[in-house]
Amino acid sequence: MENPNPTAALDAALSPDGSQVIYAGPGDIKDLWLADLNTGTKRNLTNTPDRAEFSPHWWPARPDVTVFESRPADEEYDYSGHPTVINLDGSGYRVLDAFTGGPVALSPDGQSLAFGCCGFQGVIYNWDLGATPLDPYSFNVSIQKLFNPAWSPDGKRLAWVVGGNLTAPDAWQIGVAIFDIGAHTVRFLHVYEPLGGTEPQMDLAWSPDGQWLAFINQNETQEQGRERYLWVIQPDGQEEYNLGNGYNPVWSPDGGYLAFNHSSGTPPVERISVVPYGQW
């Protein structure tokens, strides 16, 4: 499968049952729209001329709401927004944190959202109790930047792509950190010192059985350079495999396959590859 315009992305999310899609647009100040794929009807879900909405998510544990990122219309776009929710009937629009932003991870039990990005500390937002900071220093680790949280399928661990003085006090390093929230411990995976000051990448995905974690790295070696490489690793760090050029990893619902984007050629053409589970 090829995409002649690899820079174009569809800011949309398909419902778990495949009957509806939430998408951003059209226009520069984007609203979220809800479309019924069976009837073809669509409606403006957010209808907020003073805010822009993007990156929608369905939350299987809370089927009546959607979670997304938003920002004031006059705020400069910087690749992330503030976590926001709305009911699917258009009521209950609520910005959960007007100061911290970044990609959002939704817990399997429907109780918690994790978010944070860049120089912010992480935040865990409990649906009933509100926000609690996730301060890496309280775990006795030196993490300066957090990116793209992802809950484990059992909801007990929270993985982040991180940057900082992870295992060496005088070196900027990138890796994956797995926070065990209950035990209050952290395990670092695939820590390396990037060449050229690369920022942590934004792709991180657990397999449905929790036995593998897919992640992206960049500039680990001189030969790799700016090319994005896809890896799968066991959460205990015992095994890891390089799948080559790749990004945007997505597991099939049954966990039998890992799909991802990769690009090749001049000009680059974007393609999709699928790898059966365990055939790394």
Condensed to tens digits (0 to 9), the pLDDT of residues 202-233 reads 689 999 999 999 999 888 887 777 788 999 99
Rg (CA), the chain: 19
The single-letter code of the amino acid at 20 is: Q
Collapsed DSSP state (helix, strand, coil) of residue 10: coil
Using the structure block, give the residue that is written with the tokens 């390396």: 192
pLDDT at 147: 87
In total, the chain counts a number of residues equal to 280
Q: Where are the alpha helices (DSSP H) in the chain?
A: none
pLDDT at 7: 31
Phi, psi of 17 (to 5 degrees): -90, 0
| pTM of the complete model | 0.87
Cβ contact 160:175 at 8 Å: no
Show the tokens assigned to 81: 């927004």
Residue 6 predicted with pLDDT over 50: no
pLDDT at 17: 92
